[in-house]
Structure 1
Amino acid sequence: MALRKIVHYPEPLLKQKSAPVTEFNDELKQLADDMAETMYAAPGVGLAAPQVGVLQRLIVLDCSPKDAENDLIIAVNPEVISGSGDSLEEEGCLSVPGYYASVKRYSEVTMRYQDTDGNVHERQADGLLAIGIQHEIDHLEGILFVDRLSPLKRSMFKKKYLKMLKEREAEDVA
């Protein structure tokens, strides 16, 4: 296993759609292991392959409480096949560090996905896991959580975030 570099906004790769996984092999399993290690080290609760520079439909999630045993989900070619209810919760993203905003999503979802051997599964989720599933699948479509904000809030985000990036660059130079 190895830590991978997390790609940050405004990297254009984050806006691209990911290709379906067609080969279920050791390379895929290694990528999933690396992504899980990277997610835990960040620390985060989810990570999509585009966030580590790989345009494949693969996500990892672990929304278990900090004091509980890990509950890692590795989902290949995931899709939300049903959703219900409304949720408006604050989200953050490892690719948009330091910025949080409330995003409207389904409160309950059913996800169909494959494991790293190609077996098909379905999983029902609510709460944080349902939000995480939707957030990570959005990454596979080239959608960031900030893209789901109103035009005004998105404009405010871009100004604030680009200013924050410039301040970080200035600190790095100093």
Structure 2
Amino acid sequence: MPLEIVNYPHPTLRFPSRPIKRVDKELRMMAAEMIELMYCHEGVGLAANQVALPLRMFVLNPTGKQGEGEEMVVINPVIQRPKGREPDREGCLSVPGVFGDVIRAKQIQFSGYDLQGTPLNFTCEGFFARVLQHETDHLDGTMFFDRMPEGARKEIDPLLEEFEFEFRSRQAGGTIPSDQSIIKEQAEWLNRYA
């Protein structure tokens, strides 16, 4: 079954993702599919829980353009030693059309692994650091609007309520599984990879 981006308030978006303990052909294929979805939806990053996989993995390309920049698949990311503070506008493929200013660390120490198990360990700053922080937040069940100042968050609350209404209406109509079915499916993924 092809992967698709899930919209807020899908339960997996709030599920703290679990570390991946093994990589197989299927996981590699899912990472490749996530990269295609990211480009198709004009994003610069996509976390596994945005495609209903409760695993600590994300893909990114800060240029957002296929064939330009560098594509990365990151497994089990860790952010340390944040320095400085910098506001900037953010959006999310799981809440299309919603944007807001978020203050994030200007510089971070980042570590994780690629699909081959090669360690990643570097210091970065600016937009690249922002994308890494945004995607790692996803894996912790944190949405970008959770980090917005209260006043700014209140401005987008009506838009988030529309997403909630749409999601629950589709669940009631049977086009989206129930929360219980989604949670059961998450457990199956965790048994395979976490």
Query: What's the TM-score bracket when you normalise by the shorter of the two chains?
Result: 0.7 to 0.9
Name the structure with the higher strand share.
1
Q: How many angstroms does 1:3 deviate by?
A: 5.8
Deviation at 1:64, TM superposition (A): 2.6
Report how far residue 153 of structure 1 moved: 3.0
Residue pair 2:8, 2:163 contacting (<8 A) in 1 also? no
Aligned length: 167
Aligned to 2:33: 34
Residues 3 and 37, structure 1, Cα contact 8 Å, conserved in 2: no
1:68 Cα offset (Å): 7.2
Per the normalisation by structure 2, the TM-score is: 0.78
Distance in structure 2 (CA, Å) of the matches to 1:8 and 1:135: 16
- Could you tell me the TM-score, scaled by structure 1's length? 0.87
In the alignment, what sits opposite 1:4?
A: 3
Contact 1:81–1:109 (CA under 8 A) maintained in structure 2: yes
Output the aligned Cα RMSD. Answer: 2.2
% of aligned pairs identical? 34
Partner of 2:91: 92
- Any conservation in 1 of the 2:39–2:66 contact (CA below 8 Å)? no
Question: 1:47-76 CA deviation, whole Å, 9 max, x = no partner?
Answer: 000000000000111013759723101110
In 1: Cα distance, 2:41 partner to 2:52 partner: 16
Would the alpha carbon gap of residues 128 and 76 (structure 1) be closer, same or farther in structure 2, given more than 3 Å must change?
same
Moved over 3 A (4+): 65-68, 163-167
Q: Is the 8 A contact 1:49 1:59 kept in 2?
A: yes
Residues 151 and 76 of structure 1: CA distance in aligned 2, closer, same or farther (over 3 Å): same
How much does 1:165 deviate? 7.2
